[in-house]
Amino acid sequence: MIGGFASLEELAPGVYASLLPIILLTKTMPWWVRPWYLTTTASAAESSGWEDKLHRLARETLRHDIRSLSGFPPRLLAFFQALKDEKPAGDEFRIADYFPRLEMITHGGVSLTPYQTQFTNMLAGSHCELREIYPSTEGFLAIADRQPGQGLRLICDHGIFYEFIPLEEFHCSNPSRYWIANVKTGVEYAVVLSTCAGLWSYLLGDVIQFVDLNPPRILITGRTSQTISISGEKFMEADFNRAIAAAADTIGAIVNEFTVGAALPQHVGDRGKYRYIVEFQQPPAHQEDVRTFCKAVEHTLRRHNSVYDVAYLEGRGIEPPDLYIAAPGTFAAWLRQRGTPDAKIPRIIAAPEQFAAVFAFAQTWNG
């Protein structure tokens, strides 16, 4: 499990605090699993510095016959880079060169969509399969029982009662609340949990859609706190994940990371636009590729959002987007500079001053 690196702190007799993976590894793992599990995370936490921890973890795993890995995609990619640093095996990283009998990579917490091409390339020559899960500190919610993109099966029989608020009513004082018997497919819902652990009508912060009802299967489409809009289109993380992935495929590029902000109209007659900071594995060589990438992003967004499409066609409040190509490694350096090297990259930064700070860092960082 490529989790975060942290120590286990005993707050009181028998009361422990740490990152969730640390508690799972050290306190709640069943005895019959322990002999088959490589518990390196806690020992790596003793190292100093994020890079040192990753390389220590890589060195230890290379000594073993690993059959399963889990973590959220950016953290797995950082781990794979550490493996390549420790044991170079050709120009392109192939997981089969390091763990030939690897059977499964379990991922969650971050959408795989922007990283799909990288994982597909790395799995070439391996029989390893990808499986998505939906874990949270508050409970384990869903797991993939079909192919990628076909939804995660909601787990309804382990002490969690689910309610769902239509996203359009999320900010109402008395919103409608649906349960599993009367939800509909294709509607975006905010997730509300009541659990046997003591949560009562707790807003999880995630937004989902049902793709099946019997049994219930869901897609995670974003966060209630992460939306952005210029002219009422209310884009979420899933919208940009899909658009960036489609645009990268159009020009044959691989995107490492990206984030999106908006320049809002300041005066009457002004028009706003979206701004993208994109880190490619290999930056586009030609300006024409950059223009094609931007057009492909906008085409995908317009195709999936009628409000945005109308605003774009009518020239109402929307200009073509800005794209800034960040140097490889920029986002990892930005996280280190913030003191959160193992955090997730925010796909949407709605606050102008926060986006401006990221943009300024991207412009000045030179590796």
Residue pLDDT, tens place only, 122-133: 999 999 999 999
Q: Work out the pLDDT band at 109, boundaries 50, 70, 90.
A: confident
Residue 45 has pLDDT above 60, yes or no: no
Distance between first and last Cα of the chain: 29
The full set of domains in the chain, from first to last, is 9-134 (no CATH), 149-223 (no CATH), 227-364 (3.30.300)
Cα–Cα distance for residue pair 30/350, rounded to 1 Å: 43
pLDDT number for residue 43: 52
pTM for this structure? Answer: 0.75
Lowest mean pLDDT among 19-23, 197-201, 285-289, 319-323: 19-23
CA within 13 Å, CB half, 56: 16
- For strands 216-223 and 202-213, give the pairing: antiparallel
Residue 315 has pLDDT above 70, yes or no: no
Measured CA angle at 276 (ends 271, 278), to 5 deg: 165
Token pair belonging to 58: 């890589």
Q: Beta partners for 144?
A: 152
Q: Work out the pLDDT band at 310, boundaries 50, 70, 90.
A: confident
Q: Beta partners for 193?
A: 162, 202
pLDDT number for residue 213: 95
Amino acid identity of residue 113, one-letter, is T
Q: Which of 271, 277, 171 is nearest to 231 (CA)?
A: 271
Order of strands across the sheet with 255-263?
Answer: 255-263, 273-280, 322-326
pLDDT number for residue 277: 96
When pLDDT is averaged across residues 234-243 and rounded to a whole number, the result is 88
Q: Work out the pLDDT band at 331, boundaries 50, 70, 90.
A: very high
Residue 191 has pLDDT above 90, yes or no: yes
